[in-house]
Chains A and B, each alone.
Chain A
Amino acid sequence: MTVKTQYEAVIGIECHVELKTRSKMFCACANEFGGEPNTKVCPVCLALPGSLPVANAEAIRHMIRAGLAFGASIPAFSKFDRKNYFYPDMPKDYQISQYDMPLTLGGTVRYWLEDGTLKECKLTRIHLEEDTGKSMHGGGGDGRIAGSSFSLIDFNRAGVPLMECVSEPDLRSAQEAVGYLESLKRTFVQLGVSDVKMEEGSLRCDANVSIRPAGSSELGTKTEIKNMNSFRSVLRAIESEIERQTAIMESGGRIVQETRGWDEGQGETHSMRSKEEAHDYRYFPDPDLVPIEIGAALIEELRKTIPVLPPQRFAKYREYGMDAKQATQLVDNSALADYYDASVAAGANAQASMNFVLGDLSRLANETGIAASESVVTPAALAELVTLVEGKTINSKIAKELLERMWAGEGSPKAIVEKEGLTQTSDTGEIEKLIDDILAANEKAATDYKAGKTNILGFLTGAVMKASRGKANPALVNELLRKKLE
């Protein structure tokens, strides 16, 4: 009997993320997506003779904050290096990048899968560099390089600050790779260091994929997958590549180390082996720029600006009892999540507040077109309302009405409750009196109940509640009714 070998995938991701700044990395041209071609260029980013780069302070701060968000270490000393190779959309024919002394080292990205499982992926480094311009390939080839007969270049994007995040090969499936990327994206957006718009090319990623027999600790031969333009294509491309490699291994073949491009239309990767180019980047410290020293004071200053980040939030919400979908939904609406967190901080029960925030509050926000965080209902007021319900001062029906009135600007729930005497009644005598009145008016109901039609209880409870103008404690009403009827 032959046992079929089970394979596991080993995946590492390199992704480039454009930083959100007002100006480019080394010049004052605007860092904006789009615009008329070749209008956001100057002597520096066009690499005119004699021009010199000066580093953008904000980009460096963004990098440090990104590193701190993942618990990376921020070396005291960092520098820029030149990566030398010729490419027509790279004006200087070298890229200012960081080679052996990046701004951040190590760190861990926490992420989660669709089912809510929390995972971690270690980072190797994040370094700062500059983006290239954009080429469009014409004269055949359907816009691709292969088959085109000329290219047109727009340098608007050249020199935009770019961070390159390199992960360790800690990911084991396409789903994990996407989870990791989503977590990166959420974190960068939350930090305000990038808009991360894949459709605008502000996040681009390559994946290194290999497979090995499950349980093995050795690494197999890897391929590098490029041209993945959305999270969905990352998922499909890696899945397809794992399948391809598995098929090769199962048929006794060998994986070739190469770069493969993802073809969205065909749904498979294809070899990008082209004429063997000599790749020798001749890195050396850029003599036009000076080193960066990062002191403890700056790190502390920036650490204070780091908000609660999506993975931490997600884990916390799960502890509060949210399901993975709800938690993800809330994490992805950071204003609402801030609002929610503030209500909890103001003393609201986490679970109960969640029900309001994801339920009635979100509904009101949808209906009125005003975000909860922009509404007159403060997180503290919501906490007050939640506490009134939890303390059984009011029942949930009243609470729902109250929330609408609060949304309309009627003020503090406590004040309304006190002013209008909406406090839930748990006075047994008072409730029994109401029950007696209702039973007297509905003799048939009592008879039916005794005959086994117990579902009549709901009707009776409703009638008592109505008679109490909603103030009676529904649980108590129910209990007392039962007693009377039995």
Chain B
Amino acid sequence: MNDIVKRSAADIVRDVSAKRISARDVTEAVLARVDEVDDRLGCYLTRLHDRARQQAQHVDERVAAGERLPLAGVPLAVKDNMCLAGTRTTAASKILENWIAPYTATAVQRMLDAGAIPIGKSNLDEFAMGSSCENSALGVTRNPYDLKRVPGGSSGGSAAAVAAFEAAIGLGSDTGGSIREPGAFCNVVGFKPTYGRVSRYGLIAFASSLDQIGPLTRTVEDAALAYDAMAGHDPMDSTSIDRPVEPAASSLRDDLKGLRIGIVKEFETAKLGPEIDALYKRAYEELAGLGAELVEVALPTADYGLATYYLIAPAECSSNLARFDGVRYGLRVDGADVGQMYEQTRAAGFGAEVKRRILIGTYALSSGYYDAYYVKAQKARTMFAQDFRKAFERCDLIAAPAASSPAFEFDSKSDPYSMYMMDYYTIPMSLAGLPALSVPCGYAGTPALPMGLQLAAPLFEEAKLLGAAHAYERATAHAAKGTVAV
């Protein structure tokens, strides 16, 4: 393996900007790495060799012309639920298997404008619905730390690509934990900004009021760089927030002095078993060791998160996915009339998990159940926001597990609800729209597999969140103690 591929995005930017290496060199090294390992790992659904080389040349020209590009030459994995004009964009679904996007998502465009090189479109759970990537209809992605295990999901392809040095930055989308959980499983940083910070335009919707794009990276600094490039108002997204973005890359810090970090009483880790309990307790101590004051905070609604989420997200998805009807694009399975065509197309085009969520969401919105389910969940959602507001009166950040276990083996979660439980610790932050990330915090199980610590901040406090995560990462260097299997 060419060592270039192991460099952080920040290092690549420094070197490319100083013309010590070219974007082309970086790109060729990473493409070679992809060709070497991706048949085994399956991170990418589509590899973009030509596109990557074109962009590398373009970046080299811009650098030669004296431009400062904040992501000059950084190899990028784009989750395949984000549009990139002229490339196949599938959402890992048969219904979009051959769809070529005619436009580019705002977040992707901003990354490209900043000099990033698109290496490929990465795998995901179909329409980002899942926590293991097993729901992809188009390919299997393996965890680079143990090929028998899942990379997590739904942004499993991007997480695995970054972990396996097939990209320095992976774009993911997080609806209930889809960046943070695969981040934890793959020993990388997974960062979900505040809802509305990064434009959703061009992100194939799962649940509109929850979806948020964010980066997966090997360092917190790289996450900050990606965030700085992507965040900010987009007139094409009505829910994108029109408010200045505090640069995160310049707010990184080395200690946690003066910070109060809340430990959620209801997130008692003893129930996760002694080993994981000890791991998280140690992680909290590491935070304290860096100068943070640990305080206990309450999240009385914690146990209602899954119920709330599994009404709101499916309800929105049932409507968002109606457009896949075989009329204008994507798969069509013919029928005697247009109604049959719809039903056959959607039966053949969607996988079981997508169907389940569409059905439950349709039910939750249907006449007679709307108030009992959907409105009730929206009210519960208000309570999550209130609880967090109250908690943040006592602390600056919240620390919690990113997942309740390390990566599990394929096909080991047979019933849907046990899979849904994987998001127990990440869903509350999603419901409240908070910025949250997972950062490697050690290893558990046999074989020893990576675990992630989740940190969350009040709305819009991304800079503080990344700053603290950086201090933790610098001091503990947990990720560096692991080795990928490829």
Contact = CB atoms under 8 A, between A and B. Distances in A.
A–B contact with Cβ pairs below 8 Å: the answer is yes
Interface of A: 43, 46-55, 82, 84, 86, 88, 91-94, 151, 153, 155, 280, 282-284, 287-290
Contacts of B235: 54
Given A54-B237, A93-B322, 11 more contacts: A43-B103, A51-B103, A84-B322, A91-B323, A92-B322, A153-B327, A155-B328, A283-B365, A287-B208, A288-B208, A289-B238
Given A46-B328, A287-B209, A288-B239, A93 B201 contact: no
B319 interface: yes
B329 A50 contact: no
A59 to B, nearest CB: 14
Contacts of B319: 82, 84, 94, 282, 284
Interface stretch (B114-122, B366-374, B466-474): B366-374
Contacts of B370: 282, 284
A127 to B, nearest CB: 18
Nearest to A277: B339
A375 to B, nearest CB: 46
Given A94-B319, A282-B319, A284-B374, A51 B365 contact: no
Contact of B236 (A52, A283, A284): A52
Contact of A49 (B83, B207, B374): B83
Given A55-B238, A88-B338, A290-B238, A49 B315 contact: no
A52 B213 CA distance: 15
Interface in B192-217: 200-205, 207-209
A50 B323 contact: no
B335 to A, nearest CB: 12
A50 B202 CA distance: 4
Interface string B303-337: 00000000000011011001111011100000000
A182 to B, nearest CB: 37
Given A94-B319, A282-B319, A284-B319, A54 B236 contact: yes
A46 B328 CA distance: 8
Contacts of A283: 365
B99 interface: yes
Given A151-B338, A284-B374, A47 B83 contact: no
B330 to A, nearest CB: 8
A12 to B, nearest CB: 23
14 contacts: A48-B102, A49-B83, A49-B89, A49-B91, A49-B205, A50-B203, A50-B204, A51-B201, A52-B239, A86-B325, A94-B319, A94-B322, A282-B366, A284-B370
Interface residues of B, number: 45
A46 B324 CA distance: 12
Given A46-B328, A49-B96, A54-B238, A282 B362 contact: yes
B388 interface: no
Interface string B84-108: 0000010100001001011101000
Nearest to A284: B365
Give the 5 A-B residue pairs with the shortest CB-CB distance, closest first. A93-B322, A282-B365, A287-B208, A287-B209, A49-B204
A93 B202 contact: no
A86 B91 CA distance: 22
B360 interface: no
**Which among A84, A280, A284 has the highest number of chain B CB atoms within 10 Å?**
A284
A287 B237 contact: no
B342 interface: yes
Nearest to B200: A52
A53 B235 CA distance: 10
A91 B326 CA distance: 11
Contacts of B318: 84, 282
A194 B365 CA distance: 34
B82 interface: yes
Chain A interface, DSSP helix/strand/loop, else mixed:
loop
A38 to B, nearest CB: 10
Nearest to A80: B238
Contacts of B101: 48-50
Contacts of A288: 205, 208, 238-239
A277 to B, nearest CB: 9
Contacts of B91: 49
A53 B238 contact: yes
Contacts of B374: 284
Contact of B327 (A88, A284, A290): A88
Contacts of A151: 338
A280 B370 CA distance: 11
Contacts of B205: 49-50, 288
Contacts of B316: 287
Contacts of A92: 322-323
Nearest to A85: B322
A93 B362 CA distance: 13
Given A282-B370, A287-B209, A288-B238, A50 B362 contact: no
A481 B81 CA distance: 99
B83 A50 contact: yes
A155 B323 CA distance: 14
Nearest to B202: A50
Contacts of B102: 43, 48
A84 B365 contact: yes
A78 to B, nearest CB: 14
A51 B201 CA distance: 6
A290 B239 contact: yes
Given A43-B102, A55-B238, A288-B208, A49 B323 contact: yes
Contacts of B200: 50, 52
Contacts of A46: 328
Contacts of A43: 102-103
Given A54-B235, A282-B365, A93 B325 contact: yes
B323 A93 contact: yes
**Which among B203, B319, B338 has the highest number of chain A CB atoms within 10 Å?**
B319
A153 B329 CA distance: 13
A54 B234 CA distance: 11
Contacts of B82: 50
Contacts of B367: 280, 282
B343 to A, nearest CB: 10
A208 B327 CA distance: 32
**Which among B96, B235, B322 has the highest number of chain A CB atoms within 10 Å?**
B322
Contacts of A82: 319
Nearest to B368: A280
Contacts of B239: 52, 287-290
Nearest to B327: A88
Contact of B105 (A50, A91, A282): A50
A47 B319 CA distance: 12
A54 B237 CA distance: 7
Contacts of A51: 103, 201-202
Nearest to A135: B338
B112 to A, nearest CB: 16
Contact of B328 (A52, A54, A91, A280): A91
Nearest to A26: B238
A54 B106 CA distance: 15
A58 B296 CA distance: 51
